Structure 1
Amino acid sequence: MSYITAGKDANGHDVKLHYTDQGQGKPIVLIHGWPASYEMWEYQLAELPKHGNRVIAYTRRGFGQSSKTWEGHDYNTLADDLKAVLDELDLQDVTLVGFSMGGGEVARYMSRHGGARVSRVAFVAAVTPYLLKTDDNPDGAPKENFDKMIEGIRKDRFDFLATFGKQFYGVGAMSHPVSQATLDWMQSLCQIASPRATEQDVYAFAATDFRQDLQSIKVPTLVIHGSADETVPAKVSGERMTQFVPQAQYIEYDGAPHGLFVTEKDRLNSDLLAFAGAHSTTAAAAGSSSAAY
């Protein structure tokens, strides 16, 4: 397995980030969502490198096969970890793609590190601009919603993950957009995260205000969100992004849940390829709404 060293933890041990590096060409860096690992990008890792791209995906600290640190579950540290990935691999002209919690890393990196090495950014079902409801953010979600998540994790993390996975993919009594096998696969990715990171990262993505970070973004920006996302509702996130990133193009996938990297994988792949500037025969054949940028 391949690892990048992202500094040291409080005990002086190397922090290792597990990653994969596929294909050749212009780099696309994929940042996964909570509480999974880079393997969630299975359908993107299988397709994007076919179109003249070098595709890198890594797992944040505390999750998957990366180091299980006790500390460092804040966005400043996570943005520094992202910088370590870009620097270690000496990537240039990067298309940075953040899903859900990963959108926060994109926003914080662009402000904290001046967008170094990055030429385009994409936010997919992202937690930006600010999830928590406050006096100056009345469209956010109540703190009680996140308190219940923490309570569920502490009571029975595995049962919480099973229930969360169904909502994540929009599974209900009359709706089965993914198979039980896919739910089991997602559960397996999430279970190996450390309990500490699983809990602490809820505080991070819930309470971090990215509004000022977003205003630092000057590069081409793509925002994709599902209209049926119950995990990070579009009205709280995607629909508000152009308020802070005026040049952003917003694409809403009608009826798509949070886990659209699986349920809408072909359309997402096409839109990401078009945005990154790569030739996409799929996008051309499908007549994607985002065929050119």
Structure 2
Amino acid sequence: GRVAKAVLVSAVPPLMLKTETNPGGLPMEVFDGIRQGVAENRAQLFVDFPTGPFYGFNRPDAKVYPGVIQNWWRQGMMGSAKAHYDGIKAFSETDQTEDLKAITVPTLVMHGDDDQVVPIDNAGKLSVKLVQNGTLKVYQGYPHGMLTTHADVLNADLLAFVQA
């Protein structure tokens, strides 16, 4: 009763893992590879992930911000390796379909169409169909980490949604 609106930004719901009921999901091998990176060389994984797909810095025309990569590494290394390892299971294997269906407040789903980490077709486009009062805002060419790389655009859209 205290929530008036909700926003999902580059969010993983409803389910990231490929299953019989979610054929568009990603295979378990993808998440096993991330877990392996955490277990074997977390420091390098936390350089490689933001350098590549997370912020879209692997795209030919991308403007790369080394400070953003370093900050991602810093934040990651401050966390618990066990929590990171367990978190991969949580974000990849938890089916949030019923949770989304229970959301009745106006919900803005914001997703970049170049999200290489959480593909829009398996997340944003499905989530907006499941919430009861959802609006999908697609950001052309934006990556998973769009809140950092395009904060000016997203913050304006968030403010407009909250004030509407």
TM-score by length of 2: 0.95
CA-CA distance at 1:243 after TM superposition: 2.1
Rounded Cα–Cα distance in structure 2 between residues aligned with 1:173 and 1:257: 10
C-alpha contact 1:128 1:238 (8 A) present in aligned 2:
yes
C-alpha contact 2:18 2:25 (8 A) present in aligned 1:
yes
C-alpha contact 2:104 2:132 (8 A) present in aligned 1:
no
Match of residue 17 from structure 2 = 132
C-alpha contact 2:46 2:72 (8 A) present in aligned 1:
no
- Code of the residue aligned with 1:248 in structure 2: it is G
Return the index of the structure with the highest Cα Rg: 1
Aligned CA RMSD, in angstroms, stands at: 1.2
CA-CA distance at 1:187 after TM superposition: 1.2
Q: How does 1:1-293 map to 2 (within 5 A)?
A: 116-166=1-51, 167-172=53-58, 174-277=60-163, 293=164
Q: Structure 1 173/221 Cα, relative in aligned 2: closer, same or farther at 3 Å?
A: closer
CA-CA distance at 1:190 after TM superposition: 1.2
C-alpha contact 2:110 2:124 (8 A) present in aligned 1:
yes
Unaligned runs of 5+ in 1: 1-115, 278-292
CA-CA distance at 1:188 after TM superposition: 0.8
Percent pairwise identity: 36
Greater relative CO, 1 or 2 (CA 8 Å, sep 6+): 2
SS at match of 1:118: coil
Rounded Cα–Cα distance in structure 2 between residues aligned with 1:207 and 1:185: 27
CA-CA distance at 1:246 after TM superposition: 4.1
Rounded Cα–Cα distance in structure 2 between residues aligned with 1:242 and 1:174: 31
Rounded Cα–Cα distance in structure 1 between residues aligned with 2:155 and 2:20: 38
Q: Which moved more, 1:198-207 or 1:168-177?
A: 168-177
C-alpha contact 1:224 1:251 (8 A) present in aligned 2:
yes
Unaligned runs of 5+ in 2: none
- Code of the residue aligned with 1:221 in structure 2: it is T
Rounded Cα–Cα distance in structure 2 between residues aligned with 1:139 and 1:246: 22
Q: Structure 1 275/136 Cα, relative in aligned 2: closer, same or farther at 3 Å?
A: same
CA-CA distance at 1:174 after TM superposition: 2.2
Rounded Cα–Cα distance in structure 2 between residues aligned with 1:261 and 1:173: 17
C-alpha contact 1:177 1:263 (8 A) present in aligned 2:
no
- Code of the residue aligned with 2:65 in structure 1: it is S
SS at match of 2:120: coil
C-alpha contact 2:105 2:132 (8 A) present in aligned 1:
no
Rounded Cα–Cα distance in structure 1 between residues aligned with 2:116 and 2:157: 22
TM-score by length of 1: 0.54
- Code of the residue aligned with 2:8 in structure 1: it is F
C-alpha contact 2:13 2:123 (8 A) present in aligned 1:
yes
Q: Which string of whole-angstrom CA distances, capped at 9 and with x for unpartnered residues, describes residues 55-90 of structure 1?
A: xxxxxxxxxxxxxxxxxxxxxxxxxxxxxxxxxxxx
- Code of the residue aligned with 2:21 in structure 1: it is D
C-alpha contact 1:168 1:259 (8 A) present in aligned 2:
yes
Higher helix share: 2
